[in-house]
Amino acid sequence: MPLDADTLRRFYREMLLCRRFEEKAAQSYGQEKIHGFCHLYIGQEAVAVGSILAGRPDDYVIATYREHAHALVKGCDPGAVMAELYGKGTGVSKGFGGSMHLFNAEKRMMGGHGIVGGHSALAIGMAFSSRYKKEDSVTFCYLGDAAVNQGAFHESLNLAALWKLPVIFIVENNLYGMGTAASRAIAGDIIKRGEMYGIPSEVVDGMDIFAMYDASKRAVDRARADGTPSFLEARCYRFRGHSMSDPGNYRTKEEVAREQARDPIELLRKHMLEQNIEPEAWFKALDKEIRAIVQKAADFADQSPEPDLSLIDAFVYT
C-alpha cells in the first residue's frame, strides 16, 4: 500500500533530526563537551526510523550503544538526550548512563547497552512480559552485525522461537564490527542465523526507508497477531568511524563514497521531489527548523548542571 504524504514527511523529519543531532554531537565531542565513547549513527538513519515508526508508542525498543537515533525516534527529548551525552543531570538517564545507556522507561526506550549481544536476552524478557500480561506490545531489539557471533544472541533467538515471543531482532549490518569486516568475522550468511531457528527472516535494504518500513510492518503484524518473532538483516552503512576515535582506515575512500551515494535521507528527498510531495523550499525550511532544535538541545545540555553529587548512591538499590 502506498504511504501517504504525511508519513513521508515524518520519515524525512525524523531522519534529518537524527542526522543533524549526530553532527552536533560530533562537533561537541571535538569541543570536548562530550567525553568517553560516542558512536554515531550517521548513514543508518533509515533503519531506526523505518522500523520504530512501523510500531506503536507502547512497543519496547532496546538497542546497542549506537542508539542516539533510536532514543530520538522513540520520542525522547533531544535536549535530554544531548544532556546525557554531556554527562548532565538533566539527561535522559540523569547523567548516570551516558551515550551508550540512554533510557526513558516511560517512552519504553529500554536502553542502549554496552555489551555486544547481551541485551538480546533482555529483549526476549520484555517480549515475554507483554505476552504474560496479555498486552499486544512488541519489542524491537537492535543489534550490530558483530553480535550474531555472540552466545547470548543465539540463546535469545532460540528461546524467542521456542516460546513464540513477540520480538523483532533487527541486525544493523553496517559491514564492520568496529574495524573488522563482517566477511572476516562471520561464517556463512547472517540471514541463515534467523532462518535456522525457524524465525521468519528477511534481508532488507537498510538505506531504503520504504523497504525498512514495509519489512518492519510485516514483522510487527506477525508479532501482534500471535507472538511470532522476526529477524531482519538491515544492510546499511555507517558513514563515520566506529566511534569518535576511529579514523576508519580499514575502509577505502571509494567504498565510503559509493555508500554515501546511497544516503537514505538523500534518497527520500529525491523521491519526495520527484513525486511533487514537497518543493525544494520545504526541505530548506525544515533543515533550518531541525538545526534550530538541535542547537537548542546543545544549548540546553551546555547550560544544564552536572548531576547532583548527593545522588551518587541513590540508584544502586531501591
Partner 1 sequence: MAELSFREALNQAIAEEMERDPRVFILGEEVAEYDGAYKVTQGLLKRFGPQRVLDTPISETGFTGLGIGAAMTGLRPIVEMMTFNFSFVAFDQIVNNAAKLRYMSGGQVSIPMVIRGPNGAAHMLGAQHSHSVEAIYGHIPGLKVCIPSTPKDAKGLLKSAIRDENPVLVLESEMLYSLRGEVPDGEYLIPLGKGEIIHDGGDVTIVTLGKMRYVALEAAKELASEHNIQAEVIDLRSVRPMDEQIVLDSVRKTNRCVVVEENWPFCGIGAQITYLLQHEAFDSLDAPVERVTSRDVPMPYADNLERLVLPRKEHVIDAVRKVLYL
Which C-beta is closer to partner 1: that of 161 or that of 207? 161
Residue 93 sits in the site that holds partner 1 (CB under 8 A):
yes
- How many angstroms separate the CA atoms of 75 and 276, rounded? 29
Of positions 51, 156, 174, 304, contacts partner 1 by CB under 8 A: 156
Residues 6+ apart with CB under 8 A from 230: 167, 168, 169, 194, 199, 200, 201, 202, 218, 219, 222, 223
| Residue 119 engages partner 1 in binding (rule: CB under 8 A) | yes
Residue 20 sits at φ, ψ, to 5 deg, of -70, -35
Q: Phi/psi at 108 (nearest 5 deg)?
A: 65, 30
Our CB check for partner 1 shows the closer of 166 and 241 to be 166
Answer for which of 66, 70, 94, 238 binds partner 1 (CB under 8 A) is: 94
Residues linked to residue 103 through DSSP beta bridges, in sequence order: 110
Q: Using CB atoms within 10 Å of the CB of residue 77, give its burial: 0 to 12 exposed, 13 to 18 middle, 19+ buried.
A: middle
Q: Is 105 in the site for partner 1 (CB under 8 A)?
A: yes
Give the three cell numbers for residue 147.
553480535
Contact 237, 205 (CB under 8 A): no
- Quick check: 133 binds partner 1 (CB under 8 A)? yes
Is residue 227 close enough to count as binding partner 1 by CB under 8 A?
Answer: no
91 sits near partner 1 (criterion: CB under 8 A): yes
In whole angstroms, the minimum distance from the beta carbon of 132 to partner 1 comes to 6
Question: Under the criterion CB under 8 A, does residue 97 sit at the interface with partner 1?
Answer: yes
Chain residues binding partner 1 by CB under 8 A are 60, 62, 91-98, 101, 103-106, 110-111, 113-115, 118-130, 132-133, 151-152, 155-156, 158-159, 162-163, 314-318
